Each structure stands twice: as C-alpha cells, then as structure tokens.
Structure 1
Amino acid sequence: MSKEQTGHDTQIDLDVIRERYEAERKKRLKPSGTDQYTFTDGKFAKFADDPYAPEPQPRNARREDLDVLVIGTGIGGIQLAAKLDQSSIGNFLLVDIAADFGGTWYWNRYPGLRCDVESYIYLPFLEETGYVPTERYTRGSEIFAYCQKLGRHFNLYERTLFQTKVTGITWNEDDARWMVTTSRGDELRARFVTTQSGIFGKPQLPGIPGIEDFAGCTFHSARWRYDYTGGGSDGGLDKLADKRVGIVGTGTTALQVVPELAAAAQEVTVFQRTPTAVGVRDNSPTDIEWFKSQPAGWQARRIKTFNALSMGENVDCPVDDGWARFFRRLIGSVATLPPEELSPEGIARAQEIADFAYNADVRARVDEFVRDPQKADLLKAYYRTMCKRPGFSDHYLPVFDLDHVKLVDVSGGIDRITADGVVVNGVEHKLDCLILCTGFELGTTWAHQAGYDVIGRDATKLSDKWSQGLITYHGLFSQGFPNMFFMGLTQTGITINVPQMLQEQADHLTFVIKHCIDNNIRTVDTTSEAEDSWQQTIGAITEARRPFLEACTPGYYNAEGNVGDRRSAIGSGWYLPSTQFFEMWSQWRSAGAFEGLVLEK
C-alpha cells in the first residue's frame, strides 16, 4: 500500500482512504440523480409561499418603456442597478416576487443564519456606505438589513416592483424591445433585460413518499415558520420547549439551525444522508479601530486576493480563516514538490494528499466534542473537500453530545413520512415538527428555476434551447436572444465569494449596455461561432473536472452523482480559474472590439 507523510503530522494510506471515499459515495448514490427531489409546484406550492410578508396591496398595472429591466433584487440585482446609476443609465426598473431587497437573504431567515465568507469581503460597497459589519461572519438578519440599506443608499425603492412575478418575456423584432408581462398586469417594454433567477431562493423538497401526509407542522428552512417556533433569526425559539423536532438534511444550513433547535426543543432528531466536514469558524466582533484604519481601496484588494488564493495562486492575502487555510495547504503541497514532479499528475497527487490530510484533521475534531462513538463515526465526512461547500461552525458538533439530540443515518434513504413522523429502516420516529433543510432547486433547467420562459427571435423558446443545459457566450449572452443578459452561475468565472462574481458580471454588462445606449445600437447578440467556441471551452474544462466530480459523494456540484446531467446551470459548467476569466473580460473591454458580439445600429 502507498503511504504518504503530509507535513502536518498525519500519515495517509492512499489506497485505504480512496477505498473508504468510494464506499461512502456508493452508499448515497441514486440512479435518479437530481430527479430524486420534489419541487414547489402543484400540491407542494405552499412550501414556496412567502411567510414574511402579507398579501400584496392592490396597485395599478404599470405600462412603461425602459432602457433596462433588472429581474431580481438580491445582491446581484442591487449591484447591477447601482452600477447602471453610477454610469448615468437612469431609466431602469427592478422587479422581484419578494417583498423587499435581499434575494437569498430575504428568503433565508432561519435561526442561526450567518454568512460563511468574511463580511468584510462579502458585503459590497462597504467603503461607499461607510458601514461597519458588527462581526467577522455577520448574521443573516444584519445582511438582510444591509441589503435594505443599499436599496435606500442607491434610491432603488422607488424604482422597484416588489411582490411581482414575471410571467412572460417575448422579443418584438420590429421595435427591438422585450415585452415583459407580470402577475400584477404590468406590461413593460424594455430595450435590455437582465435576469438572475437566484441561487439559494427556490426550495427543493426530498422526494419521500408521504411528505404531504405529516399531521404536524412542516416547512422548508428557507420559509421558516416563526409563528410556530417562536423567536427570530437570531434565536429564542421559545414555542418549541415541549416539541419533538425532526430535521432532514445536514448541509451548511443545518450547521446553523441544529444548535438553535437543540437549545430550544424538547427533542431534536437529525436525519443525515451525508455528514458535512465541519471546520473551525472562529468568529469574532469586528475590531472597529482596525476597520477604520484600512486605506482607501482596501476592500477591492481584499476581495481580489482572497479569490486569487482560492484559485490556487500563492498571493499575499490578509484573510486568515478556514477557507484560506485549506487553500494554503494545497498551494504549499505544490510549492514543496521537486522540479521533476511538477507535472499535472504530480501536482494533482500532491493536492490530493494535502486534501486527505486536511479532512483527517477535520474528522479528528468530531472526537473532541462527541463522546458517543456511534454518533461520532456518523458525523465524520469522507469525500474531497470541494465536493461540497465546506462547513465551518464552533457550535454544531458539541450539540450531538447532548442526550436529547438524536442522529439517524439515512444514507440509504428514508422509507416514508407518516402522519406522526419519519420512518427509517422500519422504525418510526415520532415528531411534532418536521423541518426540511434539503437545499435549493439547482438541479433543474434554468426555465424551471426562473419560473417563466423567454421567447426570442423566430419564436425560439429559451426552455427549448436550454432543455439539455445552458448554451451561452461568456455565460451572459445566448444567440437568438438579443439584448438579454443572464447573470448568476451561467458559464462564467465562479467564485467562493459570490458577490464578487456578481459584481464582475454587473461591471461587464453595464459596459456593454452603456456602449449600446451611447452609440444608438439597436441590438446586441452573440454569433453562433462565438457561442460554439465558448461551449467547447467550457466543455473542455468540465471534462477535465469529470474524474474529480465522479469520485465525489452525490451533491449539487456533480448533479447528485450523475455528472453527465447538464440540464442545470451548475451542470452546464463554469470557467476556472476565475482570476483568468475576469482578466480576460478586462482585456476584452479594453480592446473595445466587442469580440463575439454583433452590434446592429
């Protein structure tokens, strides 16, 4: 057998650990892939209802001609609107089904919610607003309030239609306008449309028989029922003192929710398919003097160096957290290789060993907090770190040492849900409340996630063109859908710090839109040749990542183990490293040739 010394006082038996990873993967693999989930349509539509806002007040339908319609009022929509305004493009409108700004942070208000990226790089416009985050990893309630603050700061409230769902978008070739209809009877004629259907907003449900039969209270974590639990997103769930609460799912949401439930409920039963690797969070209040001492431009530099570090570049980055320490391990493993081993295979092997060692250390943390050996074994994760979004918490593992917190292994699936509880391996676990921390709809087609279709040139439906996956140029443009731009996880450069990715997109799109407006450009579309070339580029990157993804435990990143499923935006691929992608965009703008696009006067 092959054994390696990692440099972190950990010896790794490569054959043994690879076999364990593969065995754990197979236990959780289902042939149905992402189709194992149920979505908030039809009889399950109630799981997507907004519990935070009253029914919308009647208003007159709007009939407007716009330069830009921005669909979505999450952080990406705010960033784009702010950039448009700063570029003297004022004739725009935002629209969202939510009742306020925030996007992810509007819908997700579960107790214990925090950002898993430093607030100093996650919250945009800190220098512009002068806002000082209260903590290094700030609470969701503070992020939501900050989104509202940005809405006020950039005067966006008066330019936004909330509680308004887009129902259709159709291209009018004669007028070179998009005709957009909404659930409130609006008819909006937009010269340009940007759309970002959201990443963590639309819940997905486990496809478990009987989910609608449960007689107790059941809801998805992204639509938290505080009327039932009491308290708020900062905790204090005082109505659960006599309740038996079950929670399905143990991803990064559960890491934050379970400690709050354990502090409040009579009994908590956690149904776990796959354990999350839980690293140190190490949160702390913001040092006000440090924050105020930062020089001009500090946030942009901090954001850029963190992304470079996460892309494997050995840069001087001031961020020192769980993310940064992991990536420094990978970088360090390559830096110590002798010249004759600096091949792609040698680098991959060195990083694999470093990854194994990191996870061995993370698994060792479990034994520090959980005395029950059966619980401890179930809580240990056996997969490569970036197979899932890593978790960081200083409170999750300790609660499993409490007698009233149970852990049930459902790696083989849940039998069914009854009126009284959840049945696993023939045993019924009685519950009063069932909470579904089962993630978000990221495995379906773009049109299904967005909730509307787009009809472009020659009556071509976007749902048809993208039925088997996204087809774009640079992730933002799709041939046959002129003057429409797609933001989000759409074959662009991907970042751990999502607002950076969205800001790069907002900057790039605003450059294109402003050029078109200033130069009386009627339409902008991509060429089929540019689109085909980009698909080949994305396809090559996706294919290069296939061995890694195929070895991963089922999850978002590998379409629940079915790597060949390209229907979703994630499955359609993205560009890595994003540092290279963003530099390519910068050079593209500097050249001013609008390569790959057709601009019609």
Structure 2
Amino acid sequence: MPEPQDARKDLEAELDFDPEALRAKYRAERERRIRPDGSRQYQQLAGEFGAYDEDPHADREFTREPLHDRVEAVIVGGGFGGLLAGARLRQAGVREIRVVEKGGDFGGTWYWNRYPGIHCDIESYIYLPLLEELGYVPRWKYAPGEEIREHARAVARHFGLYDHACFQTQVTELRWDDAESEWIVATDRGDRMRARYVIVSSGTLSEAKLPGIPGIETFRGHTFHTSRWDYDYTGGDANGGLTGLADKRVALIGTGATAIQVVPHLGADAKRVYVFQRTPSSVDVRGNRPTDPQWAKSLEPGWQRRRRENFLKVVTGVRADEDLVDDAWTSTARLQEKLIPTNAYADVPAEERELAYEIADFQKMNELRARVEATVEEAETAERLKPWYRYMCKRPTFSDSYLQTFNRPGVTLVDTADTHGVQRITENAVVVGDREYEVDCIIFATGFEVGVSGVLSGRLPVYGRGGADLLRTWMSGGPRTLHGFYSRGFPNLFHLGPLQNASAVNYVHILDEQATHVAEVIAQARKWQTRCVEPTAESQDAWVATIRRKAADLYRFQAECTPGYYNNEGRPRERSESYGDGPVAFHELLRRWRSEGGLREVLAEDEA
C-alpha cells in the first residue's frame, strides 16, 4: 500500500493545475487582507451613529401606555424564529402569546432588509416555513424579499400572533420572580409584563455594523446602511428603478451577499458607481425561474417536509436517493462540511478525506474564477474579482447580473486589499491609497454582527434564580445548556439559535425544528402541570460534555481562510459550540429524547 504522501503526489500529478501554487496564492491573498484590529474594525449603530439604526418603515409618532399585564408566553423577536415559536405554541394549545419586536411589524431580517434586488438564496419551497399550513406555494424558485415579508405577515395572521404583539418595542431585561415562578419582562417603553414562559429568538444577523473608517462622521453627502435602505433618496423600490440616483455619484462599501444583489441596480440607475472591495465574493450561477403551475398542482400532502429534509440530507452528506432541490447548494454539498459539521464522512480516513476535499474545493473555485474571466471584459477588473480562497471561507453567492455590471462604463471596482480597506472618508470623498473618489452618497453594505443575539451581546440582561446573571454564568467556563435550549438556574427560558445544537444553510428549517421541540416541551409541562421547565445539573453537564467531545475541529481550515465573518476576521474561535454529528443526527436525537422519556430531565418537580 502506498504511503499517504505518495498517494497525494500521485493524485496531484493527474490534475490540470498545480495545487501547491494555489495554496501559495491563497496564503498571499490572505496576508494582503489581514488587519491587526480584526473584528474591532467595525462599530455598532449606536451613539453618534445611532441614526443609522432608525426604522424607516415604522410610525415615528407611535406611542402607547406601558403594559403591566400577564400572558402565558412572551417571544422576543418577530422574525421567522419567533413566528415559528408562536405558530408551534398555538398548535400546542397555548392561547396567550405575546411577540415583542423591535421593528414595526413581523418579518425579522426581511422586515429590515428591503434593498433593491433582495432575494433569498435558499430555494423558497424549503426556505419559507409553514407553506402547507397556509396553502401557499411561492411564485419563484428563489423568492424576492417582498414575497417573503408578506409570507411572514400571513403566518402571523394565520396563527393570531398580531393579537397581543408589541411592535417598536425592545426588551431591556428578563428577570425571574422566584416567588411567583414567572418572568418579568421589561422593555424600553416602560413595560413590566409577566409571563410563565419566555422564548428568545433575536436572530443571528440582527445587529447591523459600520466600518470604523476615520472621518466617517465628517461626510456631508448622504449615507445609509443597506439594512435601512433610503428609497426617499434613491427612488424606486426593491425591484429597482432608482431614479433618484440618475445624477448621483455613489460609493458602495462592501462586496458580500447584499452587495451582489444591490450592485446591478446601482449600475443600471446611478450616474457613477464606485464599488469598494476588500475581498471578492465567489459568484455562482443563480438561474432563478417562476414556479411551474403544473408542478405546484401536483404537490401531495407532506411535500414541504420531504423536500426540506431531502435538502438537509444532501447538503450534509447523508445518503439520499434523489436530489429534489438540485441547485448550486446541493451540487457543492461535499464542500459545506467546513461550515456545517457532519458525521457523514467519518468512515473515510482523515488524510484521504482532507485531500479529496481540498482537490474538489480547488476545482470548484477554478470554475468560479473562470466564470469571472469569461464574463468581465476588462482584464484588470476581472483579476480583482477572482476569489482566491477556499469555497466555504466566505458565504457563497449567486447572481446572473453582478459580474456583468462591471462591463458598464459608469461602474468602477476599487480594490482595497493592499490598504486593508478604505483608509478614510472626507467631507466629499472616499480615500483609498493616494486617490480620492468624490461621491454624493455612501452606502454601507457592511453586514451584521454574527451569532451575537441580545443575550450574548449583553444588550439583553437575564437574571434567573436568586438574581443569577446568565451571561456572567456562561462567561465563566463557557455556555452551559441542555441541547442549546435551556440552562440550569433559568427556568422556563428557551433560546432559539445556533448555540450548542446544530445548524444548516437553510436556517429556517433549523428554527422550525427548534420551535417544534420547545412547543412540545411546554405542552408536556402544561399537561403535567409542572411549574418550571429546567434541566437537571446532570443532564446539562452531560450535554456540554457531548458538545465538547463531538465538536468538529475547523480551526486550521478557518485560520487559513481570508478574513471575514465566518472566521471572526481571521481570528477563528478555537472551540466549536455546534453538535459535531450534524443537523440530521441532532434532529433525530431530539425526537428520540422526547419519545424515550427525556422530558423528565427538564420537568422534574424539584425547583431548587
């Protein structure tokens, strides 16, 4: 049997490219972009930048009297996580449900983000939840943002979630009342409402961020963040037609998934567009198309669950007889192992698995770089748009018009890799190197703080039994939960999100599984007339040990990636808090736990 190194050399000798040359190129491109300040290069939309966080869609004159009432369940957050929690609780028989939401309506990220070109990049037939319950089939394979937002509102209407909802309201504190065995929920509108159960679903991409560029506050033109798109200034709507920019010079800072959708509309309508790029995104074929009416009529009961579970299996390497979705996500399933841990490839020796993975990665990225070269006419611009990194170092993007926009005479790509981003902003210009780009408007497509909900950011303090501080408890030794949902000392408090459970690229599917689990736990607590849902110390410790034991080691891969939000700007966290066997195994674990008496671990009569 040949030695591993000999097998590697033999395999690489058969390729039509030089893997070592690509490895060197990736290292060099990464070094061009690493910044010593890491994630500190960004700043929150607060203080003097608080205006960037204002809600352009809500009634600014809205007021109401503070609430001091009692409901059975409070849900923090009105995005799809909160909607699913409300829907599943309603199906479980819970009547008094209050959703508290910072925005002026339901929708979460789809409420805030209404920029031109916005679509989901996951197939709408599996992304939009509760389609069968509402009797709805999306109009496009990849739905536009307005259709998604309207579906979110339809879910809320269908399940009666508008009845007690509090919009334009932010929860400021959760405090457990030991004597009454319920939560006191305080808000920025003076509310002190009480609830038996609290479910926190404040999202993983809920806090927009700005680059900490010197001089940003001195610019005298117009500025806004893409998550607060200003159509009063640009004209048009999410479909384009930005007539207000016809005589404007526009700077767009950032080239992630949002920019990929925005740039074609800016290029079509603005007088001049400068796209400031630190790292190019990988841009694959989108191929969106309207829903076939005959296909929609042929769907049989249970079709959405079958389709989304098939997608989850395919993209995590679990054996499936067919690929129902058949798109760019499923065709790159093997490469997503470096984002979503899975046990599907555990039977392949580690070195063999890593080599096969890397070669497949090189081949895919070569294909995407070739697409850039074939699409972009100007050679220097094409070279700057080529992504030189591994496939899952950044979120893949999909567009059939982004690259083509750089063939327009009024669109200029400004590469900022060697200056580590935009250097400064003046009263009328964006400065990179020795050149000033005079502009009338700066649009920040700089994304969000990732994986930092209100609780984890410290913006939503939580005090449990005896006044114990949840964040401080977690900071000493790391988070401690059972299945990621609840923690000892904080009864009847449930978390939806990626902490100590399993994730996937179709995150709404994950949220639905979580909401279903929480609703079943609460339903059982009501049936048994148990006042408190709280894990035993033994079950919590065992789960934390399981997370540590099964955690995938992604540190080396992420440390070699170009900096971005996936790897904490080049400083990846050494320990994963995700379930290492992947989402398919995790969902089965939850179902088995519920059916085999695991509920007794959280519904014990002892409330000490």
**TM-score of the pair, normalised by structure 1:** 0.93
Q: Deviations over 1:425-482 (max 9, x none)?
A: 1311111110111110126575364732111123222232344764322111122211
Q: Structure 1 242/103 Cα, relative in aligned 2: closer, same or farther at 3 Å? A: same
For residues 542 and 25 of structure 1, do their structure 2 counterparts lie closer, same or farther at Cα, with a shift above 3 Å needed?
Answer: farther
Give the alignment partner of residue 406 of structure 2, picking from 400, 403, 418: 400
Match in the other structure for 1:351: 357
Closer/same/farther in 2, CA of residues 502 and 4 from structure 1, 3 Å limit: farther
Whether the 8 Å CA contact 1:490–1:574 is kept in 2: the answer is no
Q: Is the 8 A contact 1:21 1:383 kept in 2?
A: yes
CA deviation after TM superposition for structure 1 residue 213, in Å: 1.2
Match of 2:340 in 1: none
Aligned position for 1:546: 555
Q: CA deviation at 1:199?
A: 2.3
State the 1:492 CA deviation: 1.5
Distance 2:27 2:454 in 1: 31
Secondary structure (helix, strand or coil) at the match of 1:68 reads strand
**Do structure 1's residue 464 and structure 2's residue 469 form an aligned pair?**
no
Please name the residue that 2:164 is paired with. Answer: 159
Q: Does 1:294 align with 2:299?
A: yes
Supply the AA of the counterpart residue of 2:386. K
2:423 matches 1:415: yes
Give SS of 2:534's match. Answer: strand
Which residues in structure 2 correspond to 1:256-335 (within 5 Å)? 256-315=261-320, 316-327=322-333
- Of the three residues 84, 89, 99, the one matched with 2:89 is 84
Q: Which amino acid aligns with 1:124?
A: P
Q: Give 1:361's aligned amino acid.
A: E
Letter in 1 for 2:429: G
Worse-superposed segment, 436-445 or 73-82:
436-445
Summarize the Cα distance change of 1:329–1:479 in structure 2 as closer, same or farther, 3 Å threshold: closer
Counterpart contact for 1:34–1:443, Cα < 8 Å:
no
Partner Cα distance (2:45, 2:332) in 1: 36
The 5 Å alignment of 1:376-525 reads 376-411=382-417, 412-442=420-450, 446-447=454-455, 449=457, 451-467=459-475, 470-525=479-534
> What's the offset of the Cα at 1:515?
1.1
Q: Counterpart of 1:242 in 2: which secondary structure?
A: coil
Q: Is 2:102–2:170's contact at 8 Å kept on the other side of the alignment?
A: yes
Unmatched 5+ stretches in structure 1? 332-338
**1:248 aligned onto 2:274:** no
Please tell me the residue identity of whatever aligns with 2:355.
R
Q: More deviation in 480-489 or 535-544?
A: 535-544
Aligned residue type for 2:245: L
Shift of 1:10: 6.3
Identity %: 43
Contact 2:283 2:399 survives alignment (8 Å): yes
Q: Which runs of 5+ in 2 are unaligned?
A: 338-344
Cα distance, 1:343 vs structure 2: 1.1
| CA RMSD across the alignment | 2.3
* Alpha carbons 2:458, 2:471 under 8 Å: kept: no
Provide Cα deviations, 1:260-285, integer angstroms capped at 9, x if missing partner: 10011011101111111101000001
The equivalent of 1:171 in structure 2 is 176
Q: Tell me which residue corresponds to 1:334.
A: none
CA distance in 2, matches of 1:37, 1:351: 33
For 1:42 and 1:515, how far apart are their aligned partners in 2? 45
SS at match of 2:367: helix
- Contact 1:197–1:449 under 8 Å retained in 2: no
Q: Which amino acid aligns with 1:514?
A: A
Q: Secondary structure at the match of 2:105?
A: coil
Checking the alignment, whether the CA contact within 8 Å between 1:33 and 1:562 is kept in structure 2 is: yes
Aligned equivalent of 2:535: 526
Which region of structure 1 is more displaced relative to structure 2, 378-387 or 243-252?
A: 378-387
Provide closer, same or farther for how the CA distance between residues 157 and 285 of structure 1 changes in structure 2, counting only shifts above 3 A.
same
1:555 aligns with 2:561: no
Moved more, 59-68 or 270-279: 59-68
Cα gap change, 1:506 to 1:6, in 2 (>3 Å): farther
Task: Say whether 1:43 aligns with 2:48.
Answer: yes
1: distance between equivalents of 2:122 and 2:453? 28
Q: 1:330 deviation in Å?
A: 8.3
Judge which range, 464-473 or 108-117, deviates more.
464-473
* CA displacement at 1:595 relative to structure 2: 6.4
CA distance in 1, matches of 2:25, 2:549: 29
Q: Is the 8 A contact 2:316 2:334 kept in 1?
A: no
Distance in 1 (alpha carbons) for counterparts of 2:548 and 2:254: 31
Q: Using a 3 Å threshold, how does the CA distance of structure 1 residues 406 and 136 change in structure 2: closer, same or farther?
A: same
Pair 82,330 (structure 1): closer, same or farther in 2 beyond 3 Å: closer
2:170 is the counterpart of 1:182:
no
- Which sits farther off after the overlay, 100-109 or 480-489? 480-489
- Note if 1:30 corresponds to 2:35: yes
* Secondary structure at 1:317 match in 2: coil
Q: 1:573, CA displacement in angstroms?
A: 4.2
Residues in 2 aligned to 1:533 and 1:19: alpha-carbon distance in whole angstroms: 43
TM-score by length of 2: 0.92
Post-superposition offset of 1:31:
2.9
Instruction: Give the superposition deviation at 1:342.
Output: 3.5
Tell me by how many angstroms 1:6 deviates. 8.9
Do the aligned partners of residues 471 and 45 (structure 1) sit closer, same or farther apart at CA in structure 2, a change above 3 Å counting?
farther
Moved more, 242-251 or 541-550: 541-550
The count of residues paired between Structure 1 and Structure 2 equals: 588
**Cα distance in structure 2, aligned partners of 1:298 and 1:573:** 29
Report SS of the residue matched to 1:158.
Answer: coil
Q: What's the CA shift for 1:530?
A: 3.3
Q: For 1:501 and 1:11, how far apart are their aligned partners in 2?
A: 40
Change (3 A) 1:434 1:299: same
AA in 2 matched with 1:242: D
1:455 counterpart letter in structure 2: Y
Separation in structure 1 between the aligned mates of residue 363 and residue 314 of structure 2, nearest angstrom? 19
Distance 1:326 1:5, change over 3 A: farther
The 3 A distance-change label for structure 1 pair 183 and 56 is farther
Check 1:25–1:538 CA distance in 2 against 1; reply closer, same or farther (3 A cut): farther
SS at match of 1:525: coil
1:114 lines up with 2:123 in the alignment? no
1:75-224 equivalence runs, <5 A: 75-224=80-229
The residue type paired with residue 418 of structure 1 is: T
The aligned amino acid for 1:533 is A
1:355-398 C-alpha deviation (Å, 9 max, x unpaired):
11011101100012111111111111122212221101101000
1:534 shift after superposition: 3.0
Q: 1:329 to 1:60 in 2, by over 3 A?
A: closer
Give 3-state SS (helix, strand or coil) of 2:562's partner: coil
Letter in 2 for 1:476: F
1:360 equivalent in structure 2:
366
Q: C-alpha distance in 2, partners of 1:276/1:314?
A: 30
Query: In the aligned structure 2, how far is the partner of 1:10 from the partner of 1:126?
Result: 46
Would the alpha carbon gap of residues 544 and 169 (structure 1) be closer, same or farther in structure 2, given more than 3 Å must change?
same
